[in-house]
Amino acid sequence: MSAELEDIHEECGIFGVWGHPDAARLTYFGLHALQHRGQEGAGIVSNDHGHLIGHRGLGLLTQVFSDEKDIQRLQGDRAIGHVRYATAGSGGIDNIQPFVFRFHDGDMALCHNGNLTNGFSLRRALEDEGAIFHSNSDTEVLMHLIRRSMRTTLTDKLQEALNTVHGGFAYLIMSENEMIGALDPNGFRPLSLGQMTNGAYVLASETCALDVVGAERICDIRRAR
């Protein structure tokens, strides 16, 4: 079996909310419903008027956010979060998501469930071109591809990057003005869209997380476009 296929796992949970005044706390509750999908670590990134604020750590969600102040400082009405499934050789805080990237034209955050079957070869090619990686997770590969795209909008850049990576995956990406959920072309990884009574939108790996925060399921995201 190819080394790029050996570590494929079903787990990791992602959750995002857009348009709720207590977005980080809502994300915490959503991740709590997804805790069975990953126990190695957890993290949340909030969006406060375009400034991304993150907190992440090793362990269960309740351990990572044992201090109420860690939630309180995640201001903003938008947030994404992640619970990580342990895989061999991938322990350590550097691999805990969501990842936050600071660029001259705005901050971006990214979290991911799944594996890229061509992640290793893409990473080597990117490193040969001068890319610097801060983790051994293939999640970073997508962001490097996005930033190298010559297309104009984030959506177009993301589409080009998604057409380059292969495997089974679900991504949540948050910029100053957008939250985007995307799946592999075959929809191997689950991702559901819901809406709350105040109009806030929610994306989650499982519908149980929608239920916990009181969001009504709209649809399952079928595939990347």
The residues assigned a catalytic role are 12
In the chain the first and final C-alpha atoms are separated, in Å, by 29
**Residue 224 in tokens:** 């990347």
Report the length, in residues, of the chain.
225
Contact status, residue 100 vs residue 44, Cβ threshold 8 Å: no
Nearest to 16 by CA among 178, 147, 155: 178
Q: 82 - beta bridge partners? A: 14, 43
Are the CB atoms for 131 and 119 separated by under 8 Å? no
Beta-carbon count within 10 A of 117 CB: 18
